[in-house]
Amino acid sequence: MQEALPIMRGVLIFVALRGGTITYKELSIAIDKRYHYRQLGDLLDVLSQDCFDHGEPSLAAVVTRGDTSQPGEAGREGRTAGLLQALG
């Protein structure tokens, strides 16, 4: 897990700064399939906690479901607004 977190953080910052989103499957590919896209939830929870510990909005808010293009759990819980506000 430790090796995937910095890679995931970098990918999600890149996506967020461009105002985009990324699907779970695309994120899995971006981290060299170290985790199957259906197993990213726990990793995103760890990343979100790290973001909150540093006073940052959750980067998990830019991760969407491929079938609905809707945010995953982080976005549904209202964390997306904080990320969008922080990005200006």
Is the pLDDT at 74 greater than 70? The verdict is no
- Taking the C-alpha atoms of residue 45 and residue 32, their distance in angstroms, rounded to an integer, is 19
Q: Which domain holds residue 57?
A: 4-75
What pLDDT sits at residue 73?
64
Residue 86 belongs to some domain of the structure: no
Residue 16 belongs to some domain of the structure: yes
Residue 43 belongs to some domain of the structure: yes
What pLDDT sits at residue 69?
75
Nearest Cα to 76, choosing from 65, 67, 85? 65
Question: Which neighbouring-strand residues pair with 53?
Answer: none
Residue 38 belongs to some domain of the structure: yes
Residue 81 belongs to some domain of the structure: no
User: Count of domains in the chain?
Assistant: 1
Residue 23 belongs to some domain of the structure: yes
Residue 87 belongs to some domain of the structure: no
Residue 30 belongs to some domain of the structure: yes
- By three-state DSSP, how is residue 27 classified? helix
Full-model pTM: 0.76
